[in-house]
């Protein structure tokens, strides 16, 4: 989940990376979403941050968090979680 604030918007360059990885591993294994923190109370702790935050869930449980648009770290985290 790409967690963003309205004034900043979702991280578009990272969305391209996600799409590339999804195409490589198959669409059944990997799902991406974006969530605006200002409209979801459960994400309140991520408000007021100037960097994107990426949350990784498996079976409804948070399993990893990556702060910042670090493409190599994001790719590594995605592949490790798969």
**Interval 13-24 mean pLDDT:** 84
In a domain, 75, yes or no: no
In a domain, 73, yes or no: no
- The pTM assigned to this predicted structure is 0.79
26 lies in which domain range? 2-59
Three-state secondary structure call for residue 21:
helix
Average pLDDT, the chain: 84
In a domain, 52, yes or no: yes
DSSP per residue over 29-53, as a string?
Answer: T----EEEGGG-GGGGGGTT-SS-E
Alpha-carbon distance of 65 to 51, in angstroms, equals: 13
Q: Per this entry, what is the length of the chain? A: 82
**What is the DSSP secondary structure assignment for residue 23, as one 8-state letter?**
H
Note the pLDDT tens digit of each residue in 39-76. Answer: 888 888 888 776 788 999 988 899 999 988 888 999 99
> What is the model's pLDDT at position 9?
63
How many structural domains comprise the chain?
1
In a domain, 53, yes or no: yes
Q: Which two tokens stand for residue 19?
A: 């799409």
Q: Which helix (H) or strand (E) holds 63?
A: strand 61-67
């Amino acid at each position: 989940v790409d967690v963003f604030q309205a004034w900043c918007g979702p991280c578009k360059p990272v969305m391209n990376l996600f799409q590339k990885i999804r195409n490589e591993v198959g669409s059944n294994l990997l799902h991406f979403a974006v969530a605006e923190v200002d409209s979801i109370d459960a994400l309140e702790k991520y408000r007021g941050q100037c960097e994107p935050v990426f949350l990784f869930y498996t079976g409804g449980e948070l399993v990893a968090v990556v702060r910042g648009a670090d493409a190599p770290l994001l790719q590594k985290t995605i592949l490790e979680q798969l």
